[in-house]
Amino acid sequence: MHSIYNFVSGPLVWLAFIIFFGGSLYKIYSLIALTREKEKFIFSFMSWKYSLRSILHWLIPFGSLGWRSKPILTVVTFGFHICLVIAPIFLLSHIILWDESLGIRWGALSDTMADVMTIIVIIGCIFYLIRRLTQKEVKFVTSTSDYVLLAIVAAPFVTGFLAYHQTFAYQTMMVLHIISGEIMLVAIPFTRLSHMLLSPLTRAYMGSEFGGVRHARDY
């Protein structure tokens, strides 16, 4: 188990980051290249003003009509995504690993706050699962891959929580935590999780079209 841990926490981590960053750059580049090839006219009305206005309103809780129309979903979505990003970056154990590997470190969350944010992410995954199973309009567009993606997102947080609290076999949980985190990183550019990369571009396009062409708001 020790040799497996060294492998997944060493070479496999760097491989996952290489695939994540390389895949992310390729995903963004290929989208822009395809747009230039198929719908080059889009660039003629792209506007920083309307793009940033749209992005800003959709980044603010209840800042758009869509968010205001579904308050429970809005609260869960913002809490989920904020914790999903903040918790891994500012978790003390993760910062220590960066310090040991590259000699860089930054401020960390308290253990209690990290636990709370982890639980919020897990609850968010459960909420999205129930929503896909019970709401007809969501269930209609849900495929098996959506359930798999929910599991991929939940797994690093569930295993990390269990490992930190030393539930079950600690080293086994740590290995599963690292592997599940690497799977999530690798999956981001190549699955629907890529919305984290592409949503700003989508909002920029929508904002520019509505603001510059239709002279209306998209929020």
CATH class of the 2-213 domain in this structure? mainly alpha
Which of these, 219, 198, 197, lies nearest to 209 by C-alpha position?
219
- Reply yes or no on whether the pLDDT at 40 is more than 90: no
Which of these ranges, 20-24, 63-67, 80-84, 113-117, has the smallest mean pLDDT?
63-67
Q: In this structure, which long-range contacts are made by residues 75-81, counting pairs with CB atoms below 8 Å and at least 24 apart in sequence?
A: 76/123, 76/124, 76/127, 76/128, 77/124, 79/120, 79/124, 80/120, 80/121, 80/124, 80/125, 80/127, 80/128
Question: Which pLDDT value is given to residue 135?
Answer: 95
Question: Which pLDDT value is given to residue 46?
Answer: 92
Confidence of residue 89 (pLDDT cuts 50, 70, 90): very high
Overall pTM surpassing 0.75 (yes/no): yes
Q: How far is CA 100 from CA 23, 24, 26, 93, 171, in A?
A: 26, 26, 30, 11, 20
Domain boundaries, the chain: 2-213
| pLDDT tens, residue by residue, 155-192 | 999 999 999 999 888 999 999 999 999 999 999 999 99
Question: Which pLDDT value is given to residue 39?
Answer: 87
| pLDDT tens, residue by residue, 6-34 | 899 899 999 999 999 999 999 999 999 99
Which of these, 80, 184, 67, lies nearest to 126 by C-alpha position?
80
Confidence of residue 219 (pLDDT cuts 50, 70, 90): confident
Contact indicator for 161, 119 with CB cutoff of 8 Å: yes
